[in-house]
Amino acid sequence: MLVILADQLTRIMESVFEAYLGPDSVLASAVGQAVGSGEPEDIPKRNTDVWVLGKRYNAIQELDVIRRDIQSRLWCTYRHGFMPLGEVQLTTDKGWGCMLRCGQMVLAQALIELHLGRDWFWTPECQDATYLKIVNRFEDVRKSYYSIHQIALMGESQNKAVGEWLGPNTVAQILKKLVLFDDWCSLLVHVAMDSTVVLDDVYSLCLEGDSWKPLLLIIPLRLGISDINPLYIPALKRCLELDSSCGMIGGRPNQALYFLGYVEDEVLYLDPHTTQRTGVVGQKLNAGEQEHDETYHQKHAARLSFSAMDPSLAVCFLCKTSDSFQQLLDKLRQEVLGMCTPALFEISQTRAVAWDTAEDIEWPTMPDIDWPAGASDTDSFAIVEESAREGDAAGSSKTSERAAV
């Protein structure tokens, strides 16, 4: 009886989410309209270059290959019907989990390229053991290393409640922690803070003697106040052209998206804003598991003008070896960072000295000041308590990341 009531309550909650948040996915509706009128409009039908995660294609001559490449990426979307999550017992991440799903997609791409190679393509019949290990890690069950449960609960360590929206930087910090529990993935994550790649930090993380641990480098950026500064767009394009590119975690205002390439002045993306039923791929031994595997793949990317992107994003790169990391640094210095002023980000050998050594600083003598009339030493003076300052700081940090669902 209790099981039946719980199931009914779950369906009611999901219907409430559906009614409140409205229809899913601009991508799904756009593709649906295009299918109704003929050919999907995911790639422009003209003789131009299309870049997808460091690979260049021709939009007309290689359209099928472009779609196969995009379809081979893991498409992580909203799900409903998973085991209750958090104190509020959420069974769907619709409305709050889109940035988490984008984090899943960039990590999945790093694992696919690391373990299967950039030239690997997915097919509905694929039962490759390595691929299945990867996709199993993103199933929305508690035991999966990168499930919505693991990411949301780890977010609590970053002072983010389950069901609260997370920004690109917070998601990157969570992924950095989660990969440490997964020995098979053989991947480390470094998050370059303050728009600076500190080489000493990277080498101390990835180098053990002469051995290099594969690295997913995530660089969170803020490229404007409310709109992206157009001077950064050529550098962002060049990042997507590099063969080490794992795309970008970002979006447009109020929507998180996974950017994986571009064509002309439009960025290509996979959209997590489609709600699908939770299930397992397992070993693809039956029709249900095979069908569920197909829900992780979408061959039609959507397009968005670079100028419409939200200014908060994170560029991501995979460095399998120390040589590939050095090659990335050379290309960034020679081909990316000089494209705009100020540069997209900085590369520094060491971390800047923290300004917390007041005892080592010789402060100048304060001059005598003629205070205005009415000021006196007897005027009331209040000390702001530590808890109040911490509360203000927490409030300001929450407003620094734009809400996206």
Say how far apart CA 23 and CA 161 lie, in whole Å. Answer: 25
- What pairing do the DSSP bridges indicate for beta strands 79-85 and 207-208? unpaired
pLDDT higher than threshold 60 for residue 40: yes
pLDDT higher than threshold 50 for residue 3: no
Residues 6 or more apart whose Cβ sits within 8 Å of residue 316 = 106, 110, 216, 217, 218, 219, 245, 246, 247, 248, 249
What does the angle CA 388 – CA 397 – CA 387 come to, to the nearest 5 degrees? Answer: 15
Q: What pLDDT score was predicted for residue 207?
A: 96
- Which pair of structure tokens corresponds to residue 152? 């949301």
- Which pair of structure tokens corresponds to residue 113? 């390229």
Give the pLDDT confidence of 296-352 residue by residue, as tens digits.
Answer: 999 999 999 999 999 999 999 999 999 999 999 999 999 999 999 999 999 999 987
Give the pLDDT confidence of 190-210 residue by residue, as tens digits.
Answer: 999 999 999 999 999 999 988
Q: How far apart are the first and last CA of the chain?
A: 35
Q: What pLDDT score was predicted for residue 170?
A: 93
What does the angle CA 391 – CA 395 – CA 401 come to, to the nearest 5 degrees? Answer: 150
The percentage of residues in the chain with a pLDDT greater than 70, rounded to a whole number, is: 78
pLDDT higher than threshold 60 for residue 154: yes
Residues 6 or more apart whose Cβ sits within 8 Å of residue 197 = 217, 219, 345, 346, 347, 348
Residue 37: pLDDT band with limits 50, 70, 90: very low
Q: How far is CA 251 from CA 207, 269, 334, 345, in A?
A: 33, 9, 27, 19
Q: What pLDDT score was predicted for residue 305?
A: 97
Catalytically active residues, by annotation: 98, 271, 273
Q: Which amino acid is at 376?
A: S
CB 273 within 8 A of CB 134: no
Q: Which of 37-46, 224-233, 316-325, 338-347 has the lowest mean pLDDT?
A: 37-46
Query: Omega of the bond prior to 342 within 30 degrees of 0, cis?
Result: yes
Dihedrals φ, ψ of 315, to 5°? -90, 145
Residue 38: pLDDT band with limits 50, 70, 90: low
Q: What pLDDT score was predicted for residue 24?
A: 53
Helix ranges (DSSP H) in 230-356? 233-241, 287-294, 322-331
| pTM tops 0.85 | no
Host H or E run for residue 221: strand 215-222
- Which pair of structure tokens corresponds to residue 104? 């899943």
Q: What pLDDT score was predicted for residue 399?
A: 43
pLDDT higher than threshold 80 for residue 144: yes
Q: What pLDDT score was predicted for residue 383?
A: 38
Q: What pLDDT score was predicted for residue 360?
A: 46
Q: Which amino acid is at 72?
A: S
Say how far apart CA 363 and CA 350 lie, in whole Å. Answer: 26
Q: Which of 25-34, 126-135, 281-290 has the lowest mean pLDDT?
A: 25-34
| Mean of all residue pLDDT scores within the chain | 84
